[in-house]
Amino acid sequence: MTEVVEAPGAESAQELKRITHWINGTSVAGEPGRSGPVYNPAAGIQTGEVDFASAEEVDRAVQAAKEAFASWRAVSLSRKTEIFFRIRALVDAHREDIAKILTAEHGKVLSDAKGEVARGLEVIEFCCGIPELLKGGFTEQASTGIDVYSIRQPVGVCAGITPFNFPAMVPMWMWAPALACGNTFVLKPSEKDPSASIYTAELLKEAGVPDGVFNVVHGDKVAVDAILEHPEIAAVSFVGSTPIARYVYETGTSHGKRVQALGGAKNHMIVLPDADIDMAADAAVSAGYGSAGERCMAVSMLVAVGDAGDELVGAIKERLPKVKVGDGMQPDSEMGPLVTREHRDKVASYIDKGRDEGATVVTDGRETAPDGGGFFLGVTLLDDVKPEMDVYKDEIFGPVLGVTRVSTYDEALRLVNENPYGNGVAIFTRDGGVARQFQFEVNVGMVGINVPIPVPVAYYSFGGWKNSLFGDLHVYGPEGIQFYTRGKVVTSRWPDPATSKVDLGFPQTR
């Protein structure tokens, strides 16, 4: 499957892994001319070159998926369940291998990569129950001799466009329910860390997923536009930044597709004066710097209420020198590098920007980044951040945690509710009444009460509000099943000579 080619722009003379498309059950090399670099972020060197699909190559994948659809949707639910149990067993058996692929191209530490696979696996496990999930309703004798029932059917060829930060889990959120519901799939993963998708394709084939049911095309805007405009694609799931999510939603729906497009985030963690400050500080450090802050559910802004601020900042500051930043493959590393040099530099630029805007730089991650060529940045803490500052408004997507101080719970709530994003939020308090009030009045899709990263379990659905989601349905869980199916209601009567007669009137219940 993997060929070795000499690619332009390599930072070393090493041989580069070539990452190809996967169409109709086999690896397909892209047409020459368009490709992109893949890096090992911990070493800061290029390790691969990924093919970028043209519109024609995307069309080949879509045609393969279209051809496979008729027979895949007809496969019985018990057979599909059997295949899903095999997929589950194979992903479980290869957790470690998948995690290593993630660490090699994304940079996240191995333990975090294993956690990613585990959370994706939970979605696959949920899909093993597809016969139960697709059960319809039945009404006997709705009218005399007439029964009515509802069924859910697959929509056809579905596509998924995914971000760099969860190269295995986010695709699993999409292809697992899509396939379980009887659809076929074309995945366009992030071009920054594309190998996990090809490894997944190989596992699905081994599990017995027929050729053409799952396809992968790599690439950039050209491939994305070809998906959004393709007349044979019925539904598109997207996860990525807000401007692209909006574009995908608007373009896809204008081409008649069902679209769910999840965007960026600015997640607040409110700490009330009665909170357990040690618990809150542990949570803030874990949720702010885990995966180097490259999580859509990362906490990026702490809102300290009343006199919680000084104690909280002190407790976090104390913890920061202990965070071990290093190569994700090393077992003692707790935080790896950022995904690319360009992204690292952009994140680092927010430290000066914050200082210029008037924030206090408590810890500067540039001073603690490991030496060498890797795309590392240490942990940064900014205090006295104000809502009008760019460091508050922008999704920095790196290990930069801001603290803003407010006097009251109402002020904290207003900040969250006025923010254009609405992905995740957390409140830390010992007061159950306030927590319950918060859950009632906060305008955010996923809420944690003393839980900093409230990613829903697989049998609930994941999704934000406001600029964090364009579309109506969240991903995976019950809403995922709804997204990948459409309803049909059948009204039926069987010939009964005793009740049959000509009646030209409008059908009425009898």
Which residues carry out catalysis? 296
401, 418, 160: which is closest to 286 by C-alpha? 401
Give the binding-site size for ligand NAD (rule: CB under 6 A): 27
Of the pair 44, 252, the CB lying nearest ligand NAD is at: 252
Please answer whether residues 360 and 391 qualify as being in contact, where contact means their C-beta atoms are separated by less than 8 angstroms: no
Q: CA-CA distances (angstroms) from residue 447 to 309, 326, 345, 422, 443?
A: 22, 31, 31, 10, 9
Q: Is 221 a binder of ligand NAD (CB under 6 A)?
A: yes
Reduce the secondary structure of 481-502 to three states and give it as a string: HHHCEEEEEEEEECCCCCCCCC
Residues 373-432 that bind ligand NAD (CB under 6 A): 395, 397, 423
Of the pair 229, 431, the CB lying nearest ligand NAD is at: 229
Q: Smallest gap, in angstroms, from Cβ of residue 168 to ligand NAD?
A: 12
Residues 444-503 that bind ligand NAD (CB under 6 A): 464, 468
Q: Smallest gap, in angstroms, from Cβ of residue 424 to ligand NAD?
A: 9
Beta strand 469-470 pairing with 258-262 = antiparallel
Number of H helices, E strands in the chain: 16, 24
What stretch of H or E contains 112?
Answer: helix 110-127
Q: Is 44 a binder of ligand NAD (CB under 6 A)?
A: no
What stretch of H or E contains 221?
Answer: helix 221-229
Q: Is 296 a binder of ligand NAD (CB under 6 A)?
A: yes
Instruction: Please select the residue that binds ligand NAD; options are 191, 193, 364, 384, rule is CB under 6 A.
Output: 191
Q: Smallest gap, in angstroms, from Cβ of residue 172 to ligand NAD?
A: 13
Instruction: Please select the residue that binds ligand NAD; options are 37, 163, 326, 452, rule is CB under 6 A.
Output: 163
263-292 mask for ligand NAD (x: CB under 6 A)? xxx---------------------------
Q: What is the DSSP annotation of 51-95?
A: E---HHHHHHHHHHHHHHHHHHHHS-HHHHHHHHHHHHHHHHHTH
* Residue with the shortest CB distance to ligand NAD: 240
Q: CB under 6 A: which stretch of 32-40, 188-196, 310-318, 500-508 binds ligand NAD?
A: 188-196
- Which residue type occupies 136? G
Q: Is 241 a binder of ligand NAD (CB under 6 A)?
A: yes
**Helical ranges in 128-193 per DSSP H:** 130-133, 169-180
How many Cα neighbours within 13 Å face the side chain of 81? 11
Instruction: Please select the residue that binds ligand NAD; options are 25, 240, 288, 336, rule is CB under 6 A.
Output: 240
- Applying CB under 6 A, the residues found at the interface with ligand NAD are 161-166, 170, 188, 190-191, 220-221, 224, 239-241, 244, 262-265, 296, 395, 397, 423, 464, 468
